[in-house]
Amino acid sequence: MTFTGGCFCGALRFQSDLKPVETGYCHCSICRRTTGAPLLAFASFPVESFTYTKGKPSIFKSSSKGQREFCSTCGTQICFREAGLAETVDVNSGAQDELEAVAPDHHIYTSSRVSWLKLDDQLPSYENERKT
C-alpha cells in the first residue's frame, strides 16, 4: 500500500511505500505550538520510504531534537524529522490523504497534556516518549 498526502494548497505532495511503524497522539508543547492545536495525531514512516513527490518543503529547526517541514505557500506543517540520522519521519496525520488508514494507537507526552482536554479512548498513554 502507498500512503500519500500533501499540503492545503497542493504545492507539496509526499508518499511512503511502507506502512507506518508507529501512530499516535503527541501532547508536547512544541507540537501544540507548531500546529495551533491541543494535540497532534501523527504516523511515523521509515525515512527510506518517505519522499516528496511534488515541491520542496521549507524547514524550521523547532528544537535541538529536530525540524518541522512545511509548505511556505499555505503554511501546512507536513512532518517532524529528528536531527542527525533519523530512522523515521513523523507525518502529521491531517496532511495525509487517507486518515482512516493511520489511526493513532497511543498517546505520548501526556505529562504536558492540557487539563481541559478530556479523552476517553482507552489507548495506552506515556508521560514522555514511548519506549519500544
Query: What are the tens digits of pLDDT across the range 42-92?
Result: 999 999 999 999 999 999 998 888 999 999 999 999 999 998 888 999 999
How far, in Å, are 57, 106, 126 from residue 14 at the CA level? 10, 24, 29
Within a domain: 12? yes
Mean pLDDT of the region 85-100: 93
Find all residues with CB under 8 Å of 63, minimum gap 6, and list them.
Answer: 30
Q: What is the CATH number of the domain that holds 101?
A: 2.170.150.70
pLDDT of 85 reads 83
Host domain of residue 65 = 3-112
Within a domain: 56? yes
Distance CA 121, CA 110 (A): 14
Within a domain: 118? no
- Coil, helix or strand at residue 28: coil
Angle formed at CA 86 by CA 70 and CA 33, multiple of 5 degrees: 40
Within a domain: 86? yes
pLDDT beyond 70 at 132: no
Tell me, what amino acid is at 83? A
Within a domain: 123? no
Q: What is the pTM of this model?
A: 0.90
Within a domain: 132? no
Domain count, the chain: 1
- Coil, helix or strand at residue 35: helix
Within a domain: 128? no
pLDDT of 127 reads 87
Within a domain: 67? yes
